[in-house]
Amino acid sequence: MSNNQYDLNEKLSQLNNTADTTSQFQPQDIESNKVMAVLAYLGVLVLVPIFAAKESKFARFHANQGLVLFIAEIAWTIVLTIINGILLSISARLVWISSIISLLGLVFLVLAIIGIINAVNGRAKELPVLGKFILLK
């Protein structure tokens, strides 16, 4: 493996080195609410575990992570719409800049995948960057 690949792998593993609170949850709660935890990372479906699994601490943890991610996605979409409007009002030739900026939205897809993997594996691990925000208790 080249040094550049090793550095990238090292940085990615450090990025995902977030708090893991799995030991605070009951194993039966984890097993019976994995599906609800996965739903939390699928956009507006975050509402399903928020309302249908109120008693599950594990589902609630992932619903919080998913809700923060969903709100961040909405905020990003609003900001992106404003930026696109400004760029395109300046010149239609700036559409390539708009396209490149739009690709940053893939970060939300990566975070959702990380959350889904954690939920499927029965882990209560915070998402990188956004995981520290708590909206649901």
Is residue 25 over pLDDT 90?
A: yes
Q: Under a CB-based contact definition with an 8 Å cutoff, are residues 10 and 112 in contact?
A: no
**Structure token pair of residue 93:** 């030739």
- Residues in Cβ contact with 20 at an 8 Å cutoff, skipping those fewer than 6 apart: 123, 124, 125, 126
Position with higher pLDDT, 136 vs 103: 103
- Cα separation of 98 and 96, whole Å? 5
Amino acid, res. 86: I
Section 60-64 average pLDDT: 96
Helix (H) or strand (E) holding 7, with range, is helix 3-15
Is residue 95 over pLDDT 70?
A: yes
Tokens 């249908």 identify what position?
Answer: 52
Position with higher pLDDT, 111 vs 12: 111
pLDDT at 29: 95
